[in-house]
Amino acid sequence: MIRSCFQAVRTFISHFPVTLCPDAVSHGALIKSTRLQCSGHRSARGLSMSLWPLSANPRDFSLPNASWSAEMQQVYDHYNALCEVKTKDSEEKGPWYKLPSYNRSLKHAAGGVYLSKIIQSKSRLFTRSNKEYGAAFEYVIFMNKQEKKCVCAFQSGHLLEGPPGHVHGGAIATMMDTVTGTLAGYLAGPVMTANLNINYRSPVPLGSVVLLHSALDRIEGKKIFVNGRVTSTDESKLHTEATALFISVNVGHVFGI
């Protein structure tokens, strides 16, 4: 059992070295924009083709939905336009790649064999665990592999309140961990957070759209040092600064096997 689980996980990681998530909920009618399917990173492109043998239409949470504000949509459109775009007749190269985002992966990575011994059937990726559009974490991450950096557009929902009218610091930390961790994982394969330092500079209004920027500082052996910032969408206001250390791990470490 453990060996087959391990093989399933390895298969998944080989398709997409970053993390562990997806689900099979249809996003259907709520998608406002059907413009493009960014491609770009070869293994991530493979993910969309081969990860869902029993799930033809898993919900990609990073696509626009009816809860997105005009500002959120604008940021999405801006970076989307900079992505590698596949059209019917041609393929234009761009420096950015839009990461898909699912709330469960391993169920599908196992080829339909549910890994119930390791993964609880009700488990969901924390940031994608709420099915109500716009209620909690609405975000999309664009990766720039060449420059070893990424940008995330994040719209906070009403369930993320901390101080009245503002986003909870833990929710900001969650997003910072997600974005810096996604970058580290994208560049270095499976990682876990060893250290996350955050300075909160100015509160984030609840319901607003902000950008999370993350860039690689350096890699020393199995240590990946990454920085992060939260700013307003025009980058005139700094909300949060962070540094993070991720450690490359064996897949087995993540699952305690």
Ligand X SMILES: CCCCCCCCCCCC(=O)SCCNC(=O)CCNC(=O)[C@H](O)C(C)(C)COP(=O)(O)OP(=O)(O)OC[C@H]1O[C@@H](n2cnc3c(N)ncnc32)[C@H](O)[C@@H]1OP(=O)(O)O
Contact 214, 226 (CB under 8 A): yes
Question: Taking Cα atoms as reference points, which of 199, 204, 192 lies closest to residue 232?
Answer: 204
**Burial bucket for residue 13 (CB in 10 Å: 0-12, 13-18, 19+):** buried
Contacts to ligand X from residues 119-148, by CB under 6 A? 125
By C-beta, is 82 or 247 nearer to ligand X? 247
* Residue 89 annotated to the active site: no
- Residue 208: Cβ within 10 Å count: 17
- Piece of 79-87, 150-158, 187-195, 225-233 that binds ligand X (CB under 6 A): 187-195
Distances (CA, A) of 127 to 16, 116, 160, 176, 187: 19, 21, 11, 11, 21
Contact 109, 53 (CB under 8 A): no
Q: How far is the CB of 87 from ligand X (least distance, A)?
A: 25
Angle, in degrees to the nearest 10, between helices 2-15 and 42-50? 130
- Piece of 50-58, 201-209, 217-225, 235-243 that binds ligand X (CB under 6 A): 217-225
By C-beta, is 43 or 195 nearer to ligand X? 195
- Piece of 25-33, 66-74, 111-119, 190-198 that binds ligand X (CB under 6 A): 190-198
By C-beta, is 113 or 249 nearer to ligand X? 249
- Piece of 76-84, 150-158, 192-200, 225-233 that binds ligand X (CB under 6 A): 192-200
155: which residues sit within 8 A by CB, 6+ positions away? 67, 68, 69, 72, 134, 138, 139, 207, 208, 209
3: which residues sit within 8 A by CB, 6+ positions away? none
Amino acid at 209: V
Q: How far is the CB of 119 from ligand X (least distance, A)?
A: 15
Structural tokens at position 106: 């391993």
Q: How far is the CB of 232 from ligand X (least distance, A)?
A: 24
Site membership for ligand X, residue 178 (CB under 6 A): yes
Contacts to ligand X from residues 78-107, by CB under 6 A? 99, 101
Q: How far is the CB of 109 from ligand X (least distance, A)?
A: 12
Question: Taking Cα atoms as reference points, which of 181, 185, 183, 49 lies closest to residue 108?
Answer: 49
Site membership for ligand X, residue 21 (CB under 6 A): yes
By C-beta, is 166 or 191 nearer to ligand X? 191
- Which of 23, 60, 89, 177 is catalytic? The answer is 177
Active site residues: 177
User: Which residues of this chain interact with ligand X, rule CB under 6 A?
Assistant: 18-19, 21, 99, 101, 125, 177-178, 181-182, 192-195, 221-223, 245, 247, 249
